[in-house]
Amino acid sequence: MGDNEELSVDQETVDQKVDQPEIGDEPQQQNSTDNFDPKKHTRVQTGANGELCFQGLTQAEVEARIADGQVNAIQDSSNRSVKDIVMGNTLTFFNFINVVLLALVLSVRSYKNMLFIFIIIANTLIGIFQEIKAKITLDKLKILTVSHVDVIRDGVKKSVTVSELVKDDVILLKSGGQIPADGVILDGEVDVNESLLTGESDSIHKTCGSKVLSGSFVTSGKAMCLLTEVGHDCYMEKLSSEAKQFKRYKTELQRNLDTILKFISIIIVPLGIILFAKQYWISGSTYEQAALDTVAAVLGMIPEGLVLLTSVALALGAVRLARRSTLVRELFCIETLARVDTLCLDKTGTITEGHLCVQGEESVKEDVDLEQLMGRMVAALGDENETFQALRQHYKRNQSTNTKLVLPFSSERKFSGVVFEGEGTYLMGAYQFIFPQADPAVLEKIAEYASQGLRVLTVAHSPNEMTDYTLAEDFEIVGFVFMTDVVRKNAPDILGYFEEQGVDLKVISGDDPVTVAAIAARAGLKDADKYIDATTIHTDEEMEDAILKYSVFGRVTPKQKQQMVRLLKQNGRTVAMTGDGVNDVLALKDADVSIAMASGSEAAKNTANLVLLNSDFASLPHIVNEGRRVINNIKAAASMFLIKTGFSVLTALLTIIVGQNYPFQPIQLSVINGCAVAIPTMLLQLEPSFQKVNKHFFREVLRMSMPAAITITAMITIINNIGHSIGTPREMLSTVCVLATGWVYLITLRQVYSPMTGYRKFVIYLMQTAYLVAMVIGQRIMELVGLNFTCVIVTLAAVNFAPMIIDLATKGYDKFFYWYDHRHDVKPPKPIKVKTRRFRGV
């Protein structure tokens, strides 16, 4: 074959060679095909030195495949479309109930009681607007984090987005990148981690002819790859769409909201039907009055603004984080941030600036020029990690023509190497991994350097030529290269913030633990002296003991990082993990909240819930504070919304059992809800609220809402029944109930949003004024009437005793849960009293 001879694509041969696995089968971990010839599968030229020069597809072939739909464009399932947002906010169960209630109101032609439907429409439109606004903001940020791949087209290397790839494209795979589609290796060698597909964390060595699958990522090496399946035909897409393997778990807030909505959904329809039947057939009310009473009761049970307000709070949180250059991939992870009590920090790229610098070297053998040797090794290896980037910047790259074999760096093996023909093998990496039978004197020397915060890279030589990663016993030390991390200037302030907030910090690294501890101490970590070498940990029990005892971990493998996160979660911790490298992906995947740096690997960014676009560690406190703001404001708002739900359900039940008529009109509840709940909670969502979040979200919500709901229920039940017994007109009783209910609401609003700030005072006083004005101006519309002397006294009594009843109910609630939490405690035995008898004369 001539030097520039071209061969066309033989697609039939490729399809036969790289047939895809069926769904349900494990991916075949094929390592190599001895007689695989890349020239038979793609257009290629042979260079003057015999190397393969791939030509890739022509622009016409790319356009033809795009027209045929053979593109790697995949719909992002985590990103709701505008249509989905509109449908999700409109077609809900409670909106359906509201439409039914509207039909009942229209059937009796009480048009003034239709006010609630306009509030529902406004709520729906606000929710749609805020979610679309957040979507637009996040979509703009996602453009900045779109994964790019180097592809060969028309014989030229160019960078394109993952979604622009087409079938038969030839792409370049390199360390740190995530494989975008299924393919076959044409040239080169890489180590691939398929843990996201198989759950196995061990890297698999891939050579010419090996299959690679989308979703896996390259841990080391470099290779050219031919894409055989793209888009929805990829193994990962088939697996995730049919098996739902990557479905996210629900957060505590989601579970609590689901519990509330499920309970209300179950009781609302039968309770409404029974209430209507009781009033129409038993109490003798007219159809019009029974219908309006039922509408008012059911309307009160629906927490129509709670789901809306939750969505708005999360959307606003995402927008605020976007202004701080933080991309939120999943809205509900903002809520989880508020609960984080343990933060695992990958040293590189978080507390350090993410790059190393060479401090110098020490030659052990005088006949070896260590600086020249390092230049040859760096030129031959071609790795892409931080260590090699620092080595490239420091050492002049000396091309060697006698390179026989390259052993790329692996985070599992902690070393890399080059076999030079006629010279033997040179390795560089961690001393303990190159020399399993370590010399105590050498270890002591390395420890001395490590205590100064220096990372020691050992260079070793063997006269024999290695054929794989199996270590021989004849290696000798050639010299040492000293490197160090550059600590971020703001790291001490950031670490200090988390310690003040009671967040347990764990610094995890693959470097020497003494070096990591020294760097952590420079960064201001409080317990930097509590460190351990992860290679000394062999069992789950030892790891569990270590992760709870130590703060700094060195020589940690990717699998151990994942194990640490899992054990912390098993011990009841809410874990956040930061990282930027391929070796962090497994831990990021298992953390409650995963945070990646934009400057990090594509695999880390694609796995994380949050991406710091400025790659700045200083953004973390703002992220945690935003999570706390969201959850605290949702907790306060949920408390206000559930007051209405609570007293409406209780009052409906008591009306069915012992009452005569439901005491409210729909429009009356609409005004109370608007002035005391909907408007103030929406305005107060903007308030900073950075207090540490209590883990009992639902219990705290009920603590603030149920005493008020019980107080309202007790007052209006007593007022209604006694009033009926003494012949007080219904309209007058309804007026007293409206005034008493509004007063309790406004009292609770102040309690829920305490301590009072200037802005909170302004909003609450404004709502009190609006409520009083509505009572006066809307007197006829709301069917409020003048009160006789008895009703005035009853109203004053309700206003006077309401705070006391709320306080008693709150104390009773606290005592119940104190007993509930301590019911299994072992109580000390009561002392035995011994009675003694006195005798006279003694």
Q: What confidence tens digit (pLDDT) does each residue in 559-569 have? A: 899 999 999 99
What does the mean pLDDT of the chain come to?
A: 83
pLDDT one-digit tens code per residue, 228-251: 999 888 877 765 444 333 434 567
pLDDT one-digit tens code per residue, 711-755: 999 999 999 888 988 889 989 999 999 999 999 998 999 999 988
pLDDT one-digit tens code per residue, 263-294: 888 999 999 999 999 988 888 889 998 899 89
Q: Does residue 638 share a domain with residue 588?
A: no
Tokens of 723: 């009033």
Domain count, the chain: 4
Q: Does residue 389 share a domain with residue 500?
A: no
Is-contact 217 177, C-beta < 8 A?
Answer: yes
How many other C-beta atoms can be found within 10 angstroms of the C-beta atom of residue 369? 13
CATH number at residue 534: 3.40.50.1000
Q: Give me the pLDDT at residue 21, please.
A: 41
pLDDT one-digit tens code per residue, 374-415: 988 988 887 767 788 888 888 877 666 688 888 888 766 788
CATH number at residue 440: 3.40.1110.10
Q: Give me the pLDDT at residue 10, please.
A: 39
Query: Tokens 């790291």 identify what position?
Result: 491
* Percent of the chain at pLDDT exceeding 70: 87
Q: Is residue 841 part of a domain?
A: no
Is-contact 608 349, C-beta < 8 A?
Answer: no
pLDDT one-digit tens code per residue, 415-429: 889 999 889 999 999
Residue 2: pLDDT over 70: no
Residue 446: pLDDT over 60: yes
Q: Does residue 633 share a domain with residue 685?
A: yes
Residue 17: pLDDT over 80: no
CA distance 174 to 223: 7
pLDDT one-digit tens code per residue, 478-532: 999 998 888 888 889 989 988 888 899 999 988 778 888 998 998 889 889 999 9
Residue 254 or residue 315, greater confidence? 315
Domain endpoint, select from 586, 602, 624: 624
Q: Give me the pLDDT at residue 11, please.
A: 39
Q: Give me the pLDDT at residue 486, please.
A: 81
Q: Give me the pLDDT at residue 806, please.
A: 93
CA distance 434 to 445: 16
In this prediction, residue 75 has a pLDDT band, given cuts at 50, 70 and 90, of low
Domain endpoint, select from 624, 658, 689: 624
- Of the candidates 187, 346, 485, 584, the residue annotated as catalytic is 346
In this prediction, residue 822 has a pLDDT band, given cuts at 50, 70 and 90, of confident
Q: Does residue 796 share a domain with residue 740?
A: yes
Tokens of 720: 């209604």
Q: Is residue 767 part of a domain?
A: yes
Q: Is residue 837 part of a domain?
A: no
With 0.75 as the threshold, say if the pTM is over it.
no
pLDDT one-digit tens code per residue, 154-194: 989 999 988 899 999 999 998 878 898 999 999 888 888 77
Report the run of H or E that residue 212 belongs to, with start and end.
Answer: strand 211-212
Q: Give me the pLDDT at residue 224, please.
A: 92
DSSP symbol at 294: H
Residue 536: pLDDT over 90: yes
Q: Does residue 457 share a domain with residue 382?
A: yes
* Host domain of residue 610: 327-351+488-624
Q: Give me the pLDDT at residue 229, please.
A: 93
Q: Is residue 535 part of a domain?
A: yes
Q: Give me the pLDDT at residue 481, please.
A: 95
Tokens of 578: 């930061």
How does 818-837 read in b/e, with b if 16+ C-beta sit within 10 Å?
eeeeeeeeeeeeeeeeeeee
Cis previous bond, 680, omega within 30: no
Domain endpoint, select from 486, 503, 534: 486
In this prediction, residue 19 has a pLDDT band, given cuts at 50, 70 and 90, of very low
Tokens of 382: 């071609």
Residue type, 239: L
CA distance 59 to 269: 62
Q: Does residue 359 share a domain with residue 343?
A: no
Q: Does residue 636 share a domain with residue 575?
A: no
Q: Give me the pLDDT at residue 300, please.
A: 85
pLDDT one-digit tens code per residue, 755-798: 888 999 999 999 999 999 999 998 988 889 999 999 999 999 99
Q: Is residue 87 part of a domain?
A: no
Q: Is residue 564 part of a domain?
A: yes
CA distance 542 to 571: 14
Q: Is residue 413 part of a domain?
A: yes
346 classed as catalytic: yes
Is-contact 469 454, C-beta < 8 A?
Answer: no
Q: Is residue 83 part of a domain?
A: no
Residue 595: pLDDT over 60: yes
CATH number at residue 239: 2.70.150.10
Is-contact 319 134, C-beta < 8 A?
Answer: yes
Q: Does residue 476 share a domain with residue 418?
A: yes
Q: Which residues contact 797 (CB under 8 A, 6 or more apart)?
A: none
pLDDT one-digit tens code per residue, 302-319: 887 777 778 788 888 888
Q: Does residue 761 share a domain with residue 651?
A: yes
Q: Does residue 31 share a domain with residue 55?
A: yes
Q: Does residue 772 share a domain with residue 702?
A: yes
Beta strands in 37-181 (DSSP E): 44-46, 52-54, 148-153, 156-161, 170-174
In this prediction, residue 48 has a pLDDT band, given cuts at 50, 70 and 90, of low
Q: Does residue 365 share a domain with residue 346?
A: no
pLDDT one-digit tens code per residue, 602-627: 777 878 889 888 888 788 888 888 88
The closest of 58, 8, 17 to 35, measured between CA atoms, is: 17
CATH number at residue 129: 1.20.1110.10
